[in-house]
Amino acid sequence: MIQNFQGMARKLTAKLRAEGISNPAVLAVIESTPRHLFMPESLAHKAYENTALPIGQGQTISQPLMVASMTQLLMQHDCHKVLEIGTGSGYQTAILAQLVDQVFSVERIAELQYQAKRRLKKLDLHNVAMRHGDGWQGWKTKGPFDGIIVTAAASEIPPALLQQLTDGGVMVIPVGTTSQRLIVVRRFGDEFEQKELGQVKFVPLVPGATV
C-alpha cells in the first residue's frame, strides 16, 4: 500500500489545474485526500493517474478530472446540503464532505456502500449520511437539497431528483445511453434551466437496489 502519497497527489493536482480546475478549495481537498484508499490494493499504484478505475461490482471510481469538474460546478453555487446519487467507492463522497456542511449519499449496491462507509470513518468524515436504495428516487425525506450530484449516467433526468432541489438549487448529472452528456440543471420555482457541457462516459444509473 502507498504510504507517502503527497508527492503523487501534488502532481495530479497540477494536472487538474492545467486542465482548467481553478477552485482552490477543490484542488486542496483533492490533493489531501488519499485516493488509493478507495480502490482495490492491486490498483493502488494507479491511484494518482488521471483515469477511472474498476472497484468491483461492475462499477468504477471516476477519473479525478471528472470528480474535480463536477465538484467545481457545484461549488460555483451556494451548496451546503448535497445529495449524491451513487456512493460507489466513496471517493466523490469524501471530496464533497470536506467542502459542504452535509452530504446525503444513496448507493444501490449494499457491499459498495458498506466499504465506502468504512473508508469515510477511517478518514474521520462524519458529516455523511448513507442510504441503500434506488438512486432514481433520491432521498425525499432528507430533502430538499442545495446541490445534487449524480455519478452514473441516467437515460433521462429523474423527475424525483428535480423535485428534491431547493429553489435556486443545482444538479450536475450525466445523461444518455450510447452517447452521454454532462448537464447542469438549476431550479427556479417550478422552472428548470438546463445547460449542456459536453460528452462524458459513466456507468449507467440502474434503477432499484441490490442486497
Place of cell 422552472: 191
Q: How many CB atoms lie within 10 A of CB 181?
A: 14
107 three-class SS? strand
Provide, for the chain, the percentages of residues in helix, strand and coil under a 3-state DSSP scheme, each rounded to the nearest 5.
35, 30, 35
Query: What residues contact residue 98 under an 8 Å CB cut-off, 6+ apart?
Result: 29, 33, 125
Separation CA 93–CA 39 (nearest Å): 14
Do residues 91 and 67 make contact, with C-beta atoms less than 8 angstroms apart? yes
Separation CA 130–CA 113 (nearest Å): 8
Q: Which entry of 62, 69, 89, 105 is annotated as an active-site residue? A: 62
Q: Could you write out the DSSP letters of every residue in 157-204?
A: --HHHHHTEEEEEEEEEEEESSSEEEEEEEEETTEEEEEEEEEE---B
Q: Does 22 qualify as catalytic in the annotation?
A: no
Q: Which residues are catalytic?
A: 62
